[in-house]
Structure 1
Amino acid sequence: MARDGYVVPVDQQQGVVTAKKKARSSRSWMLLDATGQSTVLDVDKYAIMHRVQIHARDLRILDPLLSYPSTILGREKAIVLNLEHIKAIITSDEVLLRDPWDEHVIPVVKELQRRLPSENAVRLDHSEGRENPGGHNDEAGEEDESPFEFRALEVALEAICSFLAARTTELETAAYPALDELTSKISSRNLDKVRKLKSSMTRLTARVQKVRDELEQLLDDDDDMADLYLSRKLAGASPVSVSGAANWFAASPTLGSKISRASRASIITVRGDENDVEELEMLLEAYFMQIDSTLNKLTALREYIDDTEDYINIQLDNHRNQLIQLELFLSSGTVSLSIFSLVTAIFGMNIPYTWNEHHGYMFKWVVIVPGIFTSVLFILVMSYSRYKGLVGS
């Protein structure tokens, strides 16, 4: 009897596997140019590598399936940016954002579209179709504004610093009342709540620390900061290199005008300005101070948690001392009762003794003498305990 169903042909199976592999290898990217126009690209990693001229190891840093720490890398013609959820490739005239539909990336896209277009770029677009007698003034204005890659980098740094600061504020809002509640009432529910908050604080501190370390590493190395000057490297390139760059960035509508202006400004930018990183240093220092302030808030929260733990330990030690004191009282009472029981057992045995003839002495022997002995023993035990500091006063 034939089984229900059908057999998929080999060619169809291979087609399904190939489609799955292609869908798996393709990733969603958003391209934003210098005018703020956005285009969604569904291409594989090889097309991205060919477009921006980076190696596979650099693109692997942006893979969301791999947990790479926050990194800012300067390459020959691109900046590879991995800051938490912001994974981007910045060139001298465009930005490639990975996973643009993520809820945390959408505000970054809107901010890039708002801030990337510059007034000089608009004036340049108008001047390309006609003769511009005031072109010298436009070029002067272009020299005064920040390069495209710095504006894109500033948006990414501002977004990640604001995101981490917001997460820190949320954690502080939840942590301080929980800690105050724990100090007033020590319970399993409050302890578990504080434990979860402390775990969240530890993870957030590690994330903030990594971003801070990356900015600090860039600030400490002028060569690394110089690698981020993509426009300067493009301006200082040879005509052959410029033509090669035009082939690589053929998709950009304003690259030709940028290269021409870069060629005219190459004499000024190449001579003596190669090691001038003051503009980028000021930019990085501003966000370094912001992320350092966020880290200081987390450090203060950790210290508050440590102080709360010390206070709770002191309370637990006090309760433990009270239990020890109660245990000593009970132990002393047990010893006293044992002595009374021993004397009563001795005098209660059915053995003829001479002192049994006069029962008037039984009260003296059974009650007065053992009572005095056990009272003295109880006082000695408590005095010794207080002398050794086992119980409070």
Structure 2
Amino acid sequence: MAQNGYVVPADQSAVVTVKKKTPQSSRNWVAIDEEGESSAFDFDRNNIMKDLRIPARDLRLLDPNLSYPSTILGRERAIVLNLEHIKAIITSEQVLLRDPTDENVIPVVKELQRRIPVGQGEGKETSAAQNDGDAGEEDESPFEFRALEVALEAICSFLAARTTELETSAYPALDELTSKIGSRNLDRVRKLKSLMTRLTGRVQKVREELEQLLDDDDDMADLYLSRKLFIASTPVSSPGESNWYLTSPTIGSKISRASRASLATVRGDENDVEELEMLLEAYFMQIDSTLNRLTTLREYIDDTEDYINIQLDNHRNQLIQLELVLSSGTVCLSMLSLVAGIFGMNIPYPWNEGHGYIFKYVVGLTGTFCVILFVIIMSYSRYKGLVGS
């Protein structure tokens, strides 16, 4: 055991040897190492399956031609990540990211290059570390957790931005629809509702994946690549040596949190997933907040639809009332026309000779009767609620 203590050793078999990408390459991948250096390379399925021990079914998750839900899988030497447009393989020393030239992936590459080198203190000399002992505390999370955090932050921010854009367009369109119901506004709201449904499904898939991880400690433990690497490579030591290492004041400020988490295994705490659980909970709350915003928007759309249906029902009732009034008036006029037609026929009748005044009386009485009948029908309709007062 050296005086500098244990650090997580490099597992050369867990590092994919990348070949610089040629202009004729049909694959578009980039590898980002611990120093934040990136290099494009040709994707070789067989080499990755052999070096990282990833089954072929997991690599299919990263195929853009196949549709798979959002997934975070922990394997022996790598984390397979499929979150919307972010398709990556994370190892304990590098990140393999697909489609780095995509407009949505470019910010992820830049953020990885900026944040991954933070906290890499294992390669520094002991003397340099002592000189910097008074410096501020750096991020000592394991490499895979820093890369995973960048991916989760990017996807949560991306979905939140899409939600904000949808809200900016949806709420004014819904308000305009309530003030003026027309085919143009209805078609606009229909398209926005379709976009909201698809976006809600995407957010729901990411949320379900994070929730599933948080509910299973074994799945979270599989994501501790540095810890598993440390356990696999640490030689069996005596209790005295372990105690010396744990109590050494020099080592505690120089090893990464991955090594410190690995040291917990010496004390029998190898299933501790508190660090990753806190990380996932933070982004679970963020994606859950985005889902709540979409749920609120859906409820607003449903309320708008209910309001429009009430308006349409009211217009329909008004048309029915108008139809009832017209039908009642038509019946009364038909009766008057019938009587007038009978007495107005040019047919000689014995009772009609010299009694023309009878026609006037009968028609007048019939008209009065029709008016009274119309008033009775309208009064009865109002009493039954068929016609508004």
Distance 2:118 2:131 in 1: 17
Equivalent residue runs for 1:1-393 within 5 Å: 26-121=26-121, 124-127=122-125, 132=127, 145-238=140-233, 268-357=264-353, 358-366=355-363, 368-393=364-389
Distance 1:218 1:142 in 2: 29
- The CA deviation at 1:288 is 0.6
Quick one: structure 1 residues 135 and 230, their matched pair in 2 at CA, closer, same or farther if it must change by over 3 Å?
farther
Q: Which amino acid aligns with 2:375?
A: I
Residues 34 and 117 in structure 1, CA contact (< 8 A), matched pair in contact too: yes
Residues 234 and 259 in structure 1, CA contact (< 8 A), matched pair in contact too: no
C-alpha offsets along residues 72-98 of structure 1, whole Å, 9 cap, x if unaligned?
111111111100000001011110001
Structure number having the greater helix percentage: 1
- The CA deviation at 1:181 is 0.4
- The CA deviation at 1:344 is 1.6
Distance 1:355 1:75 in 2: 111
Distance 2:197 2:37 in 1: 39
TM-score between both structures, scaled by the size of structure 1? 0.81
Quick one: structure 1 residues 24 and 50, their matched pair in 2 at CA, closer, same or farther if it must change by over 3 Å?
farther
C-alpha offsets along residues 172-224 of structure 1, whole Å, 9 cap, x if unaligned?
00000000000110000000000000000000001111111111111111111
C-alpha offsets along residues 100-135 of structure 1, whole Å, 9 cap, x if unaligned?
1111000000000000002443xx4342xxx64857
- The CA deviation at 1:338 is 1.1
Quick one: structure 1 residues 90 and 270, their matched pair in 2 at CA, closer, same or farther if it must change by over 3 Å?
farther
Distance 2:261 2:195 in 1: 50
Q: Which amino acid aligns with 2:81?
A: L
C-alpha offsets along residues 266-320 of structure 1, whole Å, 9 cap, x if unaligned?
5543432211111111101110111111111111111111111111111111111
Quick one: structure 1 residues 57 and 24, their matched pair in 2 at CA, closer, same or farther if it must change by over 3 Å?
farther
Distance 2:286 2:219 in 1: 21
Quick one: structure 1 residues 231 and 187, their matched pair in 2 at CA, closer, same or farther if it must change by over 3 Å?
same
2:82 alignment partner, SS class: strand
2:89 alignment partner, SS class: strand
Residues 62 and 87 in structure 1, CA contact (< 8 A), matched pair in contact too: yes
Q: When the two structures are aligned, how many residues end up with a matched partner? A: 346
Residues 70 and 84 in structure 2, CA contact (< 8 A), matched pair in contact too: yes
Distance 1:210 1:105 in 2: 19
Quick one: structure 1 residues 81 and 352, their matched pair in 2 at CA, closer, same or farther if it must change by over 3 Å?
same
How big is the alpha-carbon RMSD for the aligned residues of Structure 1 and Structure 2?
2.8
Quick one: structure 1 residues 101 and 203, their matched pair in 2 at CA, closer, same or farther if it must change by over 3 Å?
same
Residues 171 and 197 in structure 1, CA contact (< 8 A), matched pair in contact too: yes
- The CA deviation at 1:144 is 7.2
- The CA deviation at 1:340 is 1.7
Distance 2:290 2:261 in 1: 40
Quick one: structure 1 residues 93 and 320, their matched pair in 2 at CA, closer, same or farther if it must change by over 3 Å?
same
Distance 2:341 2:258 in 1: 112
Distance 2:208 2:320 in 1: 50
TM-score between both structures, scaled by the size of structure 2? 0.82
Quick one: structure 1 residues 298 and 267, their matched pair in 2 at CA, closer, same or farther if it must change by over 3 Å?
closer
Quick one: structure 1 residues 279 and 267, their matched pair in 2 at CA, closer, same or farther if it must change by over 3 Å?
closer
Distance 1:175 1:108 in 2: 28
Distance 2:150 2:257 in 1: 25
Unaligned runs of 5+ in 2: 1-22, 236-253
Quick one: structure 1 residues 261 and 71, their matched pair in 2 at CA, closer, same or farther if it must change by over 3 Å?
closer
Residues 235 and 265 in structure 1, CA contact (< 8 A), matched pair in contact too: no
Large movers: runs of 4+ above 6 Å: 135-138, 141-144, 258-265
Quick one: structure 1 residues 103 and 278, their matched pair in 2 at CA, closer, same or farther if it must change by over 3 Å?
same
1:65 alignment partner, SS class: coil
Distance 1:180 1:84 in 2: 32
Distance 1:205 1:265 in 2: 37
Q: Which amino acid aligns with 1:363?
A: K
- The CA deviation at 1:377 is 2.3
Distance 2:255 2:309 in 1: 67
Quick one: structure 1 residues 270 and 231, their matched pair in 2 at CA, closer, same or farther if it must change by over 3 Å?
farther
Q: Which amino acid aligns with 1:59?
A: L
Residues 120 and 142 in structure 1, CA contact (< 8 A), matched pair in contact too: no
